[in-house]
Each structure stands twice: as structure tokens, then as C-alpha cells.
Structure 1
Amino acid sequence: MRMSADERREAAVRAAMAEFGTGGYNGTSTGVIAKRMGVSQPYLFRLFPNKKALFLAAAARCVETIEAHFEKAAEGLEGEDAFEAMCGSYQELVGGGDVLRMQLQMYVAAVDDEEIREACRRGWLGLWDYVRVRTGASDGDMAQFFGTGMLVNVLVALGVPQDERGWAGIVDLYGDRFPEKG
């Protein structure tokens, strides 16, 4: 069955997320992405005008994936219960690799490119706003949530085992804020 242009664009974004996540913006050619999709490079450029547009689409998808994951984790919950569910679900999301790798590559690319930086900043702030509105979390809780998420990113990226130096406990920085459910 032949894919529509929208389906090909979707396939391109998925392939780009995987390839950019592995090789970074500067280290990934559009030829590699086209090959992963099973299309020619000229066809890829009919879907996206240039490499940066494809990277930005993959970055946007990364943020959308995180938000969708949080929404699924908090389904049917409100306020603090939704916040707790999102907190507890993040490690599962980044443990698979593609989201973590793409997220880290977004930060790397943002350092040297203003357009990428601005797009990633808008995505990140949108995610912040989503969590705030969805949960009603305080400024302190939001800072702790996103700061702990970055710590989880680093620990997972470095392959630090959960039992090493008690990092599973470090990630639960919320202390008594979320008492054990009994």
C-alpha cells in the first residue's frame, strides 16, 4: 500500500528523531535519514525543505512525546495526584533511549544555533506550562520536577545503576510531599 505525504512526513520525523538522537544535528546527514525511511534524499527534501526544518520537526515531536507520556500517566487524575503520576513516570519514558537521546541532542544543537535554541525554548516552556496547568504545581515543585528530570536524564545517559549510590532515592526528592500510599 502506498503511503500518503502525511504518512511519509510522519515516517521522516520518526527516522529523524532516531538518527539525530544518535548522531546529533551536525553529525547526521539527511541521506542517512532518507535511507532509514527507504526513500531518496530528493524525496525527503520534498517533505521538508532542509535539514534544519527536519530537525525542528523531530525536536517538536520529542516534546510532544513527553507531554503525551505525562498525560497518559496522569489520566483520570488531578492536581497533586496527576503531578505525582508524572513524576513517577518520567524515568520509564527516557529509559527507552530515543526520547532521551533526542532531548540531549536538542540541547547541544541549541547552543550554537539561535533558530534551534528558540524553537527548543518554546517547546520546553510549553511543556512547563502544560505541567503547571495540568497539575497546579507551585513554582518550587515545578523547579524540583524539571530539575529532577534533568538529573534522571544524566543518570540514565551515564548508565548509573539505580542501586548505585542510592540514586533511586535521590530521584524521589519530593520527600514527605508525597507520602507512601498504604
Structure 2
Amino acid sequence: MKMQRMTAADRRKQILGIASEEFARTGFYGTSVEAIARKADISNPYVFRLFGTKLGLFIAVVDASFDDIVDNFDRVSAGLSGREALVAMGQAYGALVRENQTFLLVQMHAFAACNDMEIRTAVQTGFGRMWHTVKNNSGADDVTVKQFLSLGMMLNNMAAMDLWSLDETWAKACVAVLPVEHWTP
């Protein structure tokens, strides 16, 4: 039986998925292109042909993670505004970081690697896209958008620590009621 070759777009998508898992596990500095290529059953030069460099591949993974956020925010807030849009986006983000460990760790590794100027620029651009999406979809003012995104960063940390499964009073208080449910922009 002859195997059908993947298109470049399909191969790129496959590599991004594998790279996301590898970068989530070992970060930008601890991940090798060789490991990614091996898992994709392709050569290193093919990865470089599609993404240029390891840095280019990492930035593509970071961009894709911000695309996921913006797409989710647009999807869940369609037809909503104000508090309802904020709650929908907040709940969607909370579910994303709690249910998708790869996504969560890619986000955290992206912020941790911001000492590299190109990664920092990609993260700044992605964060800016999130800011504008929250602002445009909810109609919230800058202070509320800042509070919303601050809560998102707290959700990252809460998910990384899996506070939902911790039987401690302080952890239960953290996860009991999220402030976004009380905002009134």
C-alpha cells in the first residue's frame, strides 16, 4: 500500500503540533529541532525549510497559541458585549489553560523566553492582539482590560499549580469565584 505524501501545509501543521508538545515540555532552550524532526519522521533540513530556524519554529508555535486565544475569544463573545463578553472570554480562557496542558506550558515558556528580543516581540504582538480583542469584543475600558488580562495571568499560575485539586483553604478561595464574574464595564 502506497502512503500518500503530506502537503507542505499539512506537514507544517503536524510539525507545529509536535513542536508545541516539545516546547511545552522542555522550553525553547531545552528543545532540539532533532527531537521534533524525529517525532515527525522527517529530516532536520525539512523543518528548517519550513520554519527557517529553531527560533522561527518557536515563534510560529507562540503565534499559534495567541491565535487560539483570539479565535476562542471571538467565538465565545460573538453577539455579546460588556460583562457578558468578559465572562464568556474569561471562562473560555480558564477552560483552555486548565484542559490543555500543552497550551498552558507554551504560554508560560513563551513569557519565560522573553529575554530573546525576537521572542519578546512575538509575545508582545500576541499580547497586544489579546488586548485589542478583549477591548473590542467587550467594549471595556483600559483599566478593565488590564484587570481581565491580569486575571488571565493568575489563571495560568493557578492552572500550573492545579489549585482546583488542592485541598487547602487558600487554594479553594483562589478558585471559588473569579473576579471577572463581578465586573461591570
Give TM-score scaled by structure 1 length: 0.89
| Change in CA separation of 1:140 and 1:64 when aligned onto 2, cut-off 3 Å | same
Aligned match of 1:32? 35
The alignment status of 1:102 with 2:106, answered yes or no, reads yes
Instruction: Give per-residue Cα distances to partners, 1:102-132, cap 9 Å, x unaligned.
Output: 000001111x211111111111111111111
Aligned match of 1:140? 143
Aligned match of 1:61? 64
**RMSD value, Cα:** 1.7
Secondary structure at the aligned position of 1:3 is classed as: coil
Kept in 2: contact 1:59–1:102 (CA 8 A): yes
Query: 1:168 is aligned with what amino acid?
Result: V
Kept in 1: contact 2:73–2:133 (CA 8 A): no
CA distance in 2, matches of 1:101, 1:145: 20
Q: How many residues align?
A: 176
The 4+ residue runs of structure 1 with deviation greater than 6 A are none
Give TM-score scaled by structure 2 length: 0.88
Aligned match of 2:155? 152
The alignment status of 1:88 with 2:128, answered yes or no, reads no
CA positional deviation for 1:18: 1.3
The alignment status of 1:169 with 2:180, answered yes or no, reads no
CA distance in 1, matches of 2:130, 2:183: 22
Question: Structure 2: which 5+ residue stretches go unaligned?
Answer: none
The alignment status of 1:12 with 2:18, answered yes or no, reads no
Secondary structure at the aligned position of 1:23 is classed as: helix
Instruction: Give per-residue Cα distances to partners, 1:58-101, cap 9 Å, x unaligned.
Output: 00001001111222222332333222211122111011211110
Kept in 2: contact 1:69–1:93 (CA 8 A): no
